[in-house]
Amino acid sequence: MSATATASVLTRRSSTVKGDEIAHLVTLAFGATVVLITVLLVWNLWGASAASRSKFGIGFLWGTNWDPNAADFGALPFIYGTVMTSLMALAISVPLGVGAAIFLAEMAPPGLSSACTFLVELLAAVPSVIYGMLAIFTVVPMMREYIEPALKGAFGYLPQFQGPMLGVGYLTAAVVLAIMTFPYIIAISREALLDVPHDQREAALALGATRWETTFKVVVPYARLGILGSIFLGLARALGETMAITMVIGNDSTLHASWFAPGYTIAAVLANEFAEATGKMYTGALVELGLVLFLVTIVINALARLLVLATTRKGSAKAA
Amino acid sequence: MKIPIAVAGILLAGAALASAQAINGAGATFPYPIYGKWFEEFRQKNPSIEINYQSKGSGAGIAQLTEGTVDFGASDMPMKDEQIAALKVKALHFPTVLGGVVPTYNLPGVPDLKFSSEAMAGIFLGQITKWNDPRIAKANPGVKLPATDIIVVHRADGSGTTFVFTDYLSKISPAWKSGPGANTSIKWPTGVGQQGNEGIAGMVKQTPGAIGYVELIYALKNKMEYGSVENAAGAYLKATLETVTAAAAGAAKNMPADFRVSITNAPGKNAYPIASFTWLLIPTQIQDPQKRAALTGFLKWMLTDGQNDCASLGYAPLPKEVVSQEMKQIAQVR
């Protein structure tokens, strides 16, 4: 079968070479759309934010005032809210997600593992507005009644845990983001762990390592790149999340030190204010915020790549 | 074979649609329920005219009218002078219905609070932070107010409701006027932002000590409790369709010719202070005679028979004086 197939390929060689060229051009065109879309996006955002860029300059990035009535705009409260909530969310969801992935891939009986994996994939596909509603009816009251008072009791001497407990704010947003990024981290980390070749495990066991030692000293380090990838994907979702966040963060454009206080993210303010924004300066400032979100994403992604490089330099099977 | 037939079918269907006069508008979301009903009723009476309306927000309506991508706009706030200057074809303001904004709060066991102008401004400026503040208690003798924190809840999305409410606050408080001011989105001195009437209602409902503002229609539909507000004459009024229409009647006596008028804090004993018109924005020049006839026909119908639909949907109808003044303005559409 395969011999005849090879023969027929060889006889039609000239036409296949042509076919290769066509396939090359077609896939190149598909690949080029990625670059094209990125360039168009930046070009468009750059052009539409001209009024705001020329008035506020680079100071837009650290301006703290957002006053549509006075046409004075600064992005810092939104940058702070976006980065802060995303990092806090990862601080919660990474240990939980990676831990759950290790359990599902290495420890759990196959039946339980596949049932849980199915549930995790289901959770990853839930639209964010559903998470937002869930958050409003359960997470917000829970934060206000139990978690925030408990945190205030334990760490009330820190400025992060002071002020009125509203139930909505940075911390609640971070918790909701953690819930939303958690399934991504589990699903992809689990795949990465399952991809670790069996001879790696067998070699470790043959050397006398226990199950735990095999998992933590061999399997997890081997799957490190895949696990990091899952975290970046979770981070990307957290940075751009809009609906669920605007429902629980409190949408206040003043900077607050307290994690209980209401805040704002870039995506949330765009969703809230763009439709009713009038005037070149106001819409320009909102578009510029979109540009800033783009920039924040690029910077964080670059930092993430550096982190990957730094950790892989030590040398592992997948260092390439 | 099948494809050309399908294409022909689509083209034919397109032609059939095109034979009806299609008019496109965009703008305010607040009057959308009644606009939707009006356009549908009007189409039933005049099958050749189809009015499409996108409720994208007042700002979007004004922007699209300025770009000329719609035949008419709609807005919850009158156009500003610089917005009018940006128009290629001048537009007329036609008030259609009235809306009111009510304060809603969550204090278990304290129904029917009265809010003086001083209390309203103080609460939303963040100067009154406890419910038992004497400035609130003064208007509510005999009511036991708790010593809990006041949590202000405001709209996070740009909204005509916010414009009406902040326009009212600007009129009763010089500090508000020189500070946050009036607009569809402002820099709030205090509080938490939520999306839409339902976002505010939900947050107030589940947070003890919270106070927010919602549209009267929304409060009526959902049978929400809301407070009375002190008006310009010093009387405490609960918003109803009658007190909102009374606010417009009070303002009708010196209505400017272009209908760009704010009726918050209107004079008159029965005038509810947080009320507003909502407007259709109709270009003064419409090239297509059929389109012009269709739009002016709709305006006439809306001002007469259409007004009867108001009460069933919870909108306050226009006072008679305003209707007759608007009828005269229709002649300016050429």
Top residue of A278, A281, A289 to mutate, by most chain B CBs within 10 Å, is A278
A123 belongs to a structural domain: yes
Backbone φ and ψ for B87, nearest 5 degrees, come out as -75, 140
Query: Chain B contacts of A278, Cβ < 8 Å?
Result: 59, 62-63, 80, 83, 184
How far apart are the CA of A293 and the nearest CA of chain B, in angstroms? Answer: 19
What's the average model confidence in pLDDT over A44-48? 93
Residues A95, A131 within the same domain: yes
Looking up tokens 């070699």, which residue turns up? A203
What is the share, in percent, of chain B residues with pLDDT greater than 90? 56
Q: What integer pLDDT is reported at residue A12 of this predicted model?
A: 56
Top residue of A251, A276, A286 to mutate, by most chain B CBs within 10 Å, is A276
Residues A135, A246 within the same domain: yes
Q: Answer yes or no: do A144 and B158 touch at CB < 8 A.
A: no
Q: What integer pLDDT is reported at residue B321 of this predicted model?
A: 86
- Residue B296's closest CA among B23, B79, B20? B23
- For residues A211, A213, A216, A221, the Cα torsion angle rounded to the nearest 10 degrees is -110
Q: Answer yes or no: do A262 and B180 touch at CB < 8 A.
A: no
What's the average model confidence in pLDDT over A266-272? 93
Assigned token pair, A80: 């702070």
Assigned token pair, B73: 């706009």
Give tens-digit pLDDT for B217-234: 888 888 888 999 999 999
Q: What integer pLDDT is reported at residue B158 of this predicted model?
A: 85
How far apart are the CA of B195 and the nearest CA of chain A, in angstroms? Answer: 7
Interface check B183 vs A, CB under 8 A:
yes
How far is residue B249's CA from residue B328's CA, in Å, rounded to a whole number?
Answer: 18
A51 belongs to a structural domain: no
Nearest chain A residue (CA) to B185 = A68
Residue B110 has pLDDT above 60, yes or no: yes
Q: Answer yes or no: do A144 and B207 touch at CB < 8 A.
A: yes
- Describe the crossing of helices A224-240 and A76-102 by its angle, rounded to 10 degrees: 140
A79 belongs to a structural domain: yes
Indicate the pairing of strand B210-215 with strand B151-155: parallel
Residues A25, A84 within the same domain: no
Confidence of residue A89 (pLDDT cuts 50, 70, 90): very high
What is the share, in percent, of chain A residues with pLDDT greater than 70? 92
Give tens-digit pLDDT for B39-88: 999 999 989 889 999 988 888 888 889 988 999 999 988 998 888 988 88
Closest partner residue to A275 (CB to CB) among B56, B82, B199 is B56
Q: What integer pLDDT is reported at residue B155 of this predicted model?
A: 93
Residue B11 has pLDDT above 80, yes or no: no
Interface check B81 vs A, CB under 8 A:
no
Closest partner residue to B57 (CB to CB) among A68, A247, A276 is A276
Q: What integer pLDDT is reported at residue A313 of this predicted model?
A: 60
Residue B212 has pLDDT above 60, yes or no: yes
Residue A320 has pLDDT above 80, yes or no: no
Residues A177, A34 within the same domain: no
- Residue B213's closest CA among B188, B232, B233, B236? B188
Residue A98 has pLDDT above 50, yes or no: yes
Give tens-digit pLDDT for A61-77: 999 999 988 889 999 99
CA distances from B176 to B3, B5, B157, B165 (A): 64, 65, 20, 11
Interface check B127 vs A, CB under 8 A:
no
Residue-range definition of the domain harbouring residue A17: 3-46
Residues A86, A164 within the same domain: yes
Q: What integer pLDDT is reported at residue A4 of this predicted model?
A: 53
Closest partner residue to B57 (CB to CB) among A247, A262, A275 is A275
How far apart are the CA of A150 and the nearest CA of chain B, in angstroms? Answer: 18
A29 belongs to a structural domain: yes
Residue B166 has pLDDT above 60, yes or no: yes
Residues A164, A19 within the same domain: no
Residues A17, A161 within the same domain: no
Q: Answer yes or no: do B157 and A247 touch at CB < 8 A.
A: no
Give tens-digit pLDDT for A140-198: 999 999 999 999 999 989 988 988 888 899 999 999 999 999 999 999 999 999 999 99
Handedness of CA B183, B186, B191, B193 (dihedral sign): positive
Q: What integer pLDDT is reported at residue B169 of this predicted model?
A: 96
- Residue A61's closest CA among A79, A37, A45? A79
- Residue A174's closest CA among A279, A91, A231? A91
How far apart are the CA of B59 and the nearest CA of chain A, in angstroms? Answer: 4
Interface check B182 vs A, CB under 8 A:
yes
A168 belongs to a structural domain: yes
Q: What is the CA radius of gyration of chain A?
A: 25
Confidence of residue A14 (pLDDT cuts 50, 70, 90): low
Residues A106, A18 within the same domain: no
3-state helix, strand, coil in chain B (%, to 5): 40, 20, 40
What's the average model confidence in pLDDT over B95-109? 92
**Count of helix runs (H) and strand runs (E) in chain A:** 16, 2
Assigned token pair, B172: 């009763």
Q: Answer yes or no: do A166 and B82 touch at CB < 8 A.
A: no
Q: Answer yes or no: do B157 and A262 touch at CB < 8 A.
A: no
Distance of CA B51 to the CA centre of its chain: 21
What is the share, in percent, of chain A residues with pLDDT greater than 90? 62
User: What is the number of structural domains in chain A?
Assistant: 2
Interface check B199 vs A, CB under 8 A:
yes
Regarding an ipTM greater than 0.90, the answer is no
What's the average model confidence in pLDDT over B141-156? 92
Domain CATH number, residue A299 = 1.10.3720.10
Q: Answer yes or no: do B151 and A164 touch at CB < 8 A.
A: yes
The chain-wide mean pLDDT, for chain A, equals: 88
Assigned token pair, B7: 């294409």
Residues A23, A129 within the same domain: no
The secondary structure of residue A317, as a DSSP letter, is: T
How far apart are the CA of A68 and the nearest CA of chain B, in angstroms? Answer: 6
How far apart are the CA of B192 and the nearest CA of chain A, in angstroms? Answer: 5
Residues A118, A10 within the same domain: no
**What b/e sequence results for B51-68 when a residue is b if at least 16 CB atoms lie within 10 Å of its CB, and e otherwise?**
bebbbbbbbbbbbbbbee
Task: Give the sheet arrangement for strand B236-237, strand by strand.
Answer: B114-115, B228-230, B236-237
Give residues with Cβ within 8 angstroms of A169, minimum separation 6. A249, A250, A256, A258, A259, A260, A261, A262, A263
Closest partner residue to A272 (CB to CB) among B83, B151, B157 is B157
How far apart are the CA of A33 and the nearest CA of chain B, in angstroms? Answer: 30
265-304 in chain B: CB under 8 A from chain A: none
Closest partner residue to A252 (CB to CB) among B62, B186, B192 is B192
Confidence of residue A37 (pLDDT cuts 50, 70, 90): very high
Q: Answer yes or no: do B193 and A277 touch at CB < 8 A.
A: no
Confidence of residue A319 (pLDDT cuts 50, 70, 90): very low
A53 belongs to a structural domain: no
Size of interface A-B (CB pairs under 8 A): 88
A244 belongs to a structural domain: yes
Q: What integer pLDDT is reported at residue A303 of this predicted model?
A: 86
What's the average model confidence in pLDDT over B262-271? 90
Asked if B180 contacts A68 with a C-beta cutoff of 8 angstroms, the reply is no
Give tens-digit pLDDT for A212-242: 899 989 999 999 888 988 998 899 889 989 9
Residues A63, A173 within the same domain: yes
Residues A35, A128 within the same domain: no
Top residue of B83, B154, B195, B211 to mutate, by most chain A CBs within 10 Å, is B195
A261 belongs to a structural domain: yes
